[in-house]
Amino acid sequence: MKETTPHIALVTGASRGIGAAIALELAHQGFVVIGTATTDEGAAKISHTLSAYANCRGVNLNVNDAAAVDALVEQITTQHKALHVLVNNAGITKDRMFLKMTPDDWHAVIDTNLNSMFNVTKQVVPDMVERGWGRIIQISSVNGEKGQSGQTNYSAAKAGDIGFVKALAQEGARAGITVNSITPGYIATEMVKAIDPAVVEKSILPHIPVGRLGKPEEIARCVVFHSLSKRSN
């Protein structure tokens, strides 16, 4: 990157899987990355992964806690004078058929996968508008587009992500803010690897044109594409 000062990027859910790959690739590309996790152990793991890159670190953050999010964003903008890129990646699954789905199953997934996106994005947009530049990337899911049996909560949240992105992109464009959604299919993360290999072989791979699971690093490169851009300040 040609700028003398680096972009500052906040990546939620960065301790493993897609989020960890995104944080590492952004750091490799010269971003100062702050990655979030839900535990001190997860935050320490992020810091260790990014230890070769100056000023990059992990922090413990409950993305469902709007006050905690506000405090973190204020800390970042005070220390670094800006927050240029936000990657909303935090998410969970609580899969079960709808007839057996509990209110807790529903609300936990909606809160973490959809409402947290509001909490974090709400805090970073004002600074981006004031600067006239910003990049917001939402990691959604193909199941938010096509649905998936046993995932009414997850599919609803991810569909909401996509609608949020489409609307905010229209609002942000004139302010120099781009808002994009990346909707992965099945990626070789710990969550997917936990699925019975026979199920993967019989029910998942036949529907993937290239005949294999995606790689977290491939999603990370998509995020970098949407994050890299010249800026005026």
Among candidate residues 133, 154, 164, 186, the one labeled active-site is 154
Answer whether residue 106 shows pLDDT above 60: yes
d(CA 67, CA 65): 6
State the pLDDT confidence band at 200, using cuts at 50, 70 and 90: confident
d(CA 132, CA 58): 27
State the pLDDT confidence band at 233, using cuts at 50, 70 and 90: very low
At 230 the pLDDT is 56
Q: CA separation (Å) from 175 to 126, 132, 133, 135, 171?
A: 10, 5, 7, 11, 8
> In terms of residues, how long is the chain?
233
Q: What is the DSSP-derived secondary structure letter of residue 194?
A: T
Q: Which of 198, 191, 181 is nearest to 144 (CA)?
A: 181
For residue 31, give the amino acid letter: F
At 217 the pLDDT is 94
- Which tokens in the block code for residue 123? 């805090």
Answer whether residue 229 shows pLDDT above 90: no
Instruction: Please answer whether residues 137 and 169 qualify as being in contact, where contact means their C-beta atoms are separated by less than 8 angstroms.
Output: no
d(CA 94, CA 186): 17
Q: Is 154 a catalytic residue?
A: yes
At 44 the pLDDT is 98
Average pLDDT over the chain, rounded to an integer = 92
Mind listing the pLDDT tens digit for each residue in 42-70? Answer: 999 999 999 999 999 999 999 999 999 99
- How crowded is the C-beta side of 179, counted as CA atoms within 13 Å? 22
Answer whether residue 1 shows pLDDT above 60: no
pTM over 0.95: no
